[in-house]
Structure 1
Amino acid sequence: MTKSSFQYIISFFGILFALSFIYFVIPPLLKNFDVIGAALGGFVNPFSTGYSLDIICTWFVFSAWVLYEAKSKGIQNGWIAILLGVVPGVATGMAFYLILRMKQGKE
């Protein structure tokens, strides 16, 4: 796989997730603006709790990686990826970070 095809693929999936998030999450949130209730909705049963905890822990690991590389490899603007990891989600944040990292020549 070439570098450019890799960038297109991860861009596609990062954007696809962001658009899916907008489609599925934003309309119900606009009807009943309860951010805490929306966040706690991921913990309504043991299965959704497992998925939610996985994503939360993945975000913490991802954030530690971004912060580490900011110092060790001089990656700039990684904080944007950390924020994107919160909203819309880790898939978009990680896709953004990988592209950012490649553009800064730190692969």
Structure 2
Amino acid sequence: MPDTRYHWTLLFLAVAFTVAVGWIVVPPLVESDLGVVQAFRDAFANPYSSGFAVNTLFTFAVLCVWVTYEAQRRGVRRGWIAIVVCLVPGVAAGLATYLLIRHQKIGPQTWRRR
């Protein structure tokens, strides 16, 4: 995949995810008197939503560990921005953000057979 398509695809997915979260989550969040507390409770309302919520929380934790480790090891500056982005729209946007930041520093990787 060419670099330009890679960048635009990641950017599109991050923006689309952010819009979807805004469309699905923000209206009930605004209507709720308890706001974020009620949203967190609702995420664990049944076994299915609890599974998705736990998956998201653990994915966020893994992403934080990876971003912290790799940004330091490879010298990727501003990797912390991806962790902040995870807190507002979500992990998908944070991952896309880190991949874009990382690509600017590291560049395209070439894989060779050994």
Aligned-pair identity (%): 35
| Distance in 2 of aligned mates of 1:75 and 1:62 | 15
The size of the alignment, in residue pairs, is 107
**Normalising by the residue count of structure 2, what TM-score does the alignment of the two structures yield?**
0.87
Deviation at residue 99 of structure 1 after TM alignment:
0.4
User: Could you list the per-position Cα deviations for residues 50-104 of structure 1 after superposition, in whole angstroms to 9, with x for gaps in the alignment?
Assistant: 1111111000000000000121011111111001112210000000110011112
Off by >4 Å, runs of 4+ in structure 1: none
Cα distance in 2 for partners of 1:63, 1:74 equals: 16
Question: In the alignment, is the contact (CA less than 8 A) between 1:42 and 1:52 conserved in 2?
Answer: yes
1:77 aligns with 2:78: yes
Report the Cα distance in structure 2 between the residues aligned to 1:57 and 1:106, rounded to whole angstroms.
28
> Aligned-pair distance for 1:106?
5.1
Provide the C-alpha distance between the structure 1 equivalents of 2:31 and 2:54, rounded to a whole number of angstroms.
26
Bigger radius of gyration among the two? 2
Partner of 1:29: 29
What's the counterpart of residue 41 of structure 1? 42
Task: Say if 1:73 and 1:106, in contact at 8 Å, map to a contact too.
Answer: no
